[in-house]
């Protein structure tokens, strides 16, 4: 079995739906460039995009989309498990996103403090 990336799996979803990337992007509420960059350039897919795909595509297996394991579509009896996994994965990705935003905010604060110290001549030289 060939290993694929989430970007390849996104392309498979679009192809399976038989629509253009532009049309699919509009149907799930993301910018065309987001999907084009992911599919053609291999750019990272943001949590918010994954969330929109899963919201718009309840029949797509979360496990398959995230890991590539299993089938593209949920079997009827896998829906509860997939819903549970979806909630866990979304929670983890949301926490990761919040953590990255907090780190970015702290970096900006530290830069501001350094700039103030530089202006006052109080910054350390080493």
Tens digit of pLDDT for each residue in 56-81? 988 898 889 988 988 888 776 556 66
Mean pLDDT of 2-30: 92
Instruction: Give residue 51's Cα distance to chain centre.
Output: 7
Taking only the tens place, the pLDDT of each residue in 100-111 is: 888 888 899 888
pLDDT surpassing 90 at residue 4: no
**Cα–Cα distance, 23 to 26 (Å, whole number):** 5
pLDDT surpassing 90 at residue 43: yes
DSSP state string for 10-75:
HHHHHHHHT--HHHHHHHHT--HHHHHHHHHH-PPPPHHHHHHHHHH-TTB-HHHHHH--S-SB--
**Cα–Cα distance, 33 to 99 (Å, whole number):** 25
Grouping H, G, I as helix, E, B as strand and the rest as coil, residue 86 is helix
pLDDT surpassing 90 at residue 26: yes
């Amino acid at each position: 079995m060939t290993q694929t990336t989430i970007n390849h799996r996104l392309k498979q979803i679009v192809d399976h739906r038989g629509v253009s990337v532009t049309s699919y992007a509009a149907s799930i509420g993301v910018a065309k460039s987001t999907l084009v960059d992911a599919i053609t350039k291999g750019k990272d897919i943001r949590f918010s995009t994954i969330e929109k795909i899963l919201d718009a595509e309840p029949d797509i297996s979360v496990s398959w989309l995230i890991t590539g394991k299993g089938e593209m579509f949920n079997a009827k009896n896998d829906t509860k498990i997939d819903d549970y996994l979806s909630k866990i994965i979304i929670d983890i990705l949301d926490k990761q996103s919040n953590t990255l935003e907090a780190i970015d905010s702290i970096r900006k604060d530290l830069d501001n403090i350094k700039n103030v110290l530089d202006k006052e001549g109080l910054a350390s030289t080493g």
